Amino acid sequence: MPLIEIHLLEGRTDEQKKALLAAVTAAVHDSIGAPLESIRVWVQEFSPREYMIAGVLAADRKAPKTP
């Protein structure tokens, strides 16, 4: 039984998370032939105040500039 946990910062919509979970499920099924009924995939979300990137809290990082 494949068990896949995905870690993400909060902020994605329910639709985005559903699409991600479905795509990962399909990828596991297609790549190793696991029966769909046996595949478990879930998302663990983190607050930007609880996750650090290169020594800086994600909440304190500046948003990337768009061209």
Residues marked as catalytic = 2
Question: Which segments within the chain are labelled E, that is strand?
Answer: 3-9, 40-46, 52-53, 56-57
Instruction: Give the C-alpha separation, 18 to 56, whole Å.
Output: 29
What is the Cα–Cα distance from 41 to 57, expressed in whole angstroms?
Answer: 27
